[in-house]
């Protein structure tokens, strides 16, 4: 079929259709350290024509997988090795956010959008085991720098709670407070490389090189 680059979806993200019918969604939008991957393929009939459904306002093309538009904006880090070692500092996770020089953009955004979330990170549990398991996977300044300018100001609010969850050292995942599992593999959390892990008295803050994509790997 004829390649069709730069199509704009209803949700606003851009995707490309290659000659073999494969679909990619992060080509040139965000600086992605991992090679661009095809997310889905257009379905063809036995004669080699795309399977379509005509509509009054256009044509529907059938594809074999769901698309993940967030990877378009957040990008993906190249695989690393292991998670970085833990460093410890007294105080709370809120103190880590306010004091770490690599979290200034996130802290400033949260102070404007939802200061109560930062206050929540200053709370302790009466159960020490809960404090030991609590983690916040925080996008670092580097994560903001790779975002397209058009979306950098719009993504803080829906993403902050996804990165707050429970982790037991050695497990292959972090259980998000929203009920999702964040996969840990080759030094990454989902699509984002883990830069640093800092544990305070009420939990740990992990600095990420990218914003977490909650749908990462769900449709592969």
- Taking the C-alpha atoms of residue 29 and residue 15, their distance in angstroms, rounded to an integer, is 10
DSSP state at residue 162? T
- Taking the C-alpha atoms of residue 21 and residue 13, their distance in angstroms, rounded to an integer, is 18
pLDDT tens digits, one per residue of 153-187: 565 554 556 789 999 999 999 999 888 899 999 99
88 and 199 Cβ atoms separated by less than 8 Å: yes
- The whole-number average pLDDT for the span 129-148 is 91
Beta-bridged to residue 8, according to DSSP, are: 14
93 and 202 Cβ atoms separated by less than 8 Å: yes
CA diameter of the chain: 67
Fold of 86-208: FAS1 domain (2.30.180)
pTM of the shown model:
0.82
- Taking the C-alpha atoms of residue 186 and residue 19, their distance in angstroms, rounded to an integer, is 33
Domain with CATH 2.30.180.10 in the chain: 86-208
Task: Extract the tokens encoding 198.
Answer: 């800092």
Amino acid 158: pLDDT: 47
pLDDT tens digits, one per residue of 44-64: 999 988 999 999 988 898 999
Confidence of residue 7 (pLDDT cuts 50, 70, 90): confident
Helix/strand/coil for 63:
strand
Q: Considering only CA atoms, which of 89, 81, 82, 80 is closest in space to residue 198?
A: 89
Q: Is the pLDDT of residue 31 over 70?
A: no
DSSP state at residue 133? H
95 and 122 Cβ atoms separated by less than 8 Å: yes
The whole-chain average pLDDT of the chain stands at 85
Helix/strand/coil for 153:
coil
Task: Extract the tokens encoding 70.
Answer: 């967030």
Beta-bridged to residue 205, according to DSSP, are: 136, 198
86 and 199 Cβ atoms separated by less than 8 Å: yes
Task: Extract the tokens encoding 184.
Answer: 């840990």
Q: Considering only CA atoms, which of 108, 105, 87 is closest in space to residue 142?
A: 105
Q: Is the pLDDT of residue 10 over 80?
A: no
């Amino acid at each position: 079929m004829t390649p069709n680059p730069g199509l704009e979806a209803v949700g606003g993200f851009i995707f490309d259709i290659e000659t073999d019918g494969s679909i990619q969604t992060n080509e040139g939008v965000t600086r992605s350290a991992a090679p661009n991957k095809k997310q889905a393929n257009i379905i063809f009939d036995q004669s080699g024509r795309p399977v379509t459904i005509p509509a009054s306002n256009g044509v529907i093309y059938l594809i074999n997988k769901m698309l993940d538009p967030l990877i378009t904006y957040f990008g993906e880090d190249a695989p690393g090795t292991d998670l970085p070692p833990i460093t410890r500092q007294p105080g709370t996770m809120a103190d880590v956010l306010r004091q770490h020089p690599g979290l200034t953009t996130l802290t400033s955004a949260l102070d404007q959008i939802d200061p109560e979330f930062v206050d929540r990170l200053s709370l302790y549990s009466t159960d020490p085991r809960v404090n030991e398991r609590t983690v916040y996977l925080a996008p670092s300044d580097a994560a903001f720098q790779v975002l397209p300018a058009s979306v950098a100001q719009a993504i803080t609010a829906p993403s902050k709670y996804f990165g707050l969850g429970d982790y037991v050292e050695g497990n292959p995942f972090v259980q998000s407070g929203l009920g999702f599992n964040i996969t840990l593999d080759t030094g990454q959390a989902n699509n984002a490389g883990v830069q640093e892990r800092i544990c305070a008295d009420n939990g740990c803050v992990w600095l990420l090189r990218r914003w977490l994509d909650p749908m990462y790997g769900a449709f592969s």
